[in-house]
């Protein structure tokens, strides 16, 4: 069974998917939506969930470095609630601190152009979130 990884922003949702064995994460797509229009993001995500046969989604929970929750974390918690209402899935929140930084570093080391990095950063952050979850399972 495949697992999806999600990196939620205010206008984008990076999506990653695991292999069938649930061992390796790979980038899938970046969904775009109007500012905080999470209903639209979910409507775009539902066909992907069905197509991939995912029953578990791993959503990044952006915590501050001291572990406290800010506005972005509250946004992720609300998105989780909305997603679980809209689909028959389990949404697992995982600490995503530094996932975008790690994704940026990996792409720079891979010598991707700045333009290409900007296009795929959300997907790659979702890969970092999902791979961390898979490694801990």
CATH code (residue 35): 3.30.420.140
- pLDDT on residue 45: 99
- pLDDT on residue 97: 66
pLDDT tens, position by position, 5-56: 999 999 999 999 999 999 999 999 999 999 999 999 999 999 999 999 999 9
Question: Between residues 1 and 35, which one has the greater pLDDT?
Answer: 35
25-32 vs 56-61, strand pairing mode: unpaired
Q: Coil, strand or helix: which one is 29?
A: strand
Of 47, 8, 5, 7, the residue nearest 22 (C-alpha)? 5
pLDDT tens, position by position, 32-46: 999 999 999 999 999
d(C-alpha 52, C-alpha 70), whole Å: 31
Number of domains the chain is built from = 1
Q: What is the pTM of this model?
A: 0.88
d(C-alpha 91, C-alpha 112), whole Å: 31
Contact yes or no for 19/126 (Cβ under 8 A): no
Contact yes or no for 61/73 (Cβ under 8 A): yes
Residue 123's domain comprises 3-136
């Amino acid at each position: 069974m495949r697992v999806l990884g999600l990196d939620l922003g205010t206008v984008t949702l990076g999506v990653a998917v695991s292999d069938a064995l649930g061992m390796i994460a790979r980038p899938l797509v970046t969904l775009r939506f109007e500012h905080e229009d999470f209903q639209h993001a979910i409507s775009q995500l539902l066909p992907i969930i069905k197509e991939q046969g995912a029953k578990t989604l791993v959503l990044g929970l952006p915590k501050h470095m001291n572990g406290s929750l800010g506005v972005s974390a509250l946004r992720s918690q609300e998105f989780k609630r909305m997603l679980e209402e809209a689909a028959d899935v389990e949404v697992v929140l995982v600490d995503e601190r530094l996932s975008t930084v790690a994704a940026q570093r990996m792409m720079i080391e891979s010598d991707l152009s700045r333009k290409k990095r900007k296009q795929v950063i959300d997907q790659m952050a979702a890969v970092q979130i999902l791979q961390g979850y898979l490694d801990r399972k």
